[in-house]
Amino acid sequence: APSRGRILMLVGPTGAGKTTTIAKLAARAALIDDRRVALITLDNYRVGGVDQIRTFADLIGVPLQVAETPAALANLIDPANDLTLIDTAGKSPRDRASIEELAGHIDGLEIEIHLVIPAGASAAQIDELVQRYSPLAPSRLLFTKLDEYEHVPELALAPARTRLPITWITTGQSVPEDIEEPSSVRILELASGGLEHTAPRHRGHRAA
């Protein structure tokens, strides 16, 4: 469970599942672990970007603030919260300028940067993402959409190659059930067999 005063920012390419993943983390912390949670979004460039996370925030019952610019971010972080989750716009990995701008504004803030990677990404794509987002100095990997692939060998290979640990994986659309903190054994299982061939872990009831 997230420790007191933890600040997490999820970054990664468009369509990686950052906003849904944040909803899962927020729901678990607020509803299951009874933590004081706040959401901040920088995703005000995409049409509907704020609407999606606002819907989640309302359903979970946690406050949402919109940072109009990266410069406004620091003033919105309340250290009294147990967990602050920061959603970011899905950048093209080649959009180096906006990545560097964001990096400049979070410099000095104690923020854990989680690089969100779709499970189908190749080794070359993962390496490119790590390199492109390097101005933000991501310290963890978060793999999404494992339910869409039979084999995810990069799940086992990426941590050693990138020197970044995997903190969470997502295994479906259900909020908050389809997210887990995988053990090294679980990672090896999923890498070789995929979800279909392994026992589910902490999967909740999927709404029809």
- For residue range 4-42, list pLDDT tens digits in order: 589 999 999 988 999 999 999 999 999 989 999 999 998
Instruction: Say yes or no to pLDDT of 92 above 80.
Output: no
Which tokens belong to 175? 């909020």
Instruction: Say yes or no to pLDDT of 197 above 60.
Output: no
Label residue 114 by pLDDT band (50, 70, 90). Answer: very high
Label residue 154 by pLDDT band (50, 70, 90). Answer: confident
What was the pLDDT predicted at 44?
61
What was the pLDDT predicted at 204?
43
Give, in degrees to the nearest 5, the angle at Cα 42 between 121 and 161. 30
186 Cβ contact list (under 8 Å, min separation 6): 180, 198, 201
Average confidence (pLDDT) over 51-72: 90
Dump pLDDT digits (tens) for 171-194: 988 888 899 999 988 888 888 876
CA-CA distance, 194 to 150, in Å (whole number)?
5
Eight-state DSSP code of residue 29: I
**Distance from CA of residue 5 to its chain's centroid?**
17
**Residue whose C-alpha is closest to residue 176's, from 88, 59, 51:** 59
Which tokens belong to 85? 């989750």
pTM recorded for the entire structure:
0.86
Q: Which domains does the chain have, with CATH numbers?
A: 6-197 (3.40.50.300)
Q: 17 with 145: CB under 8 angstroms?
A: yes
Give, in degrees to the nearest 5, the angle at Cα 148 between 170 and 40. 35
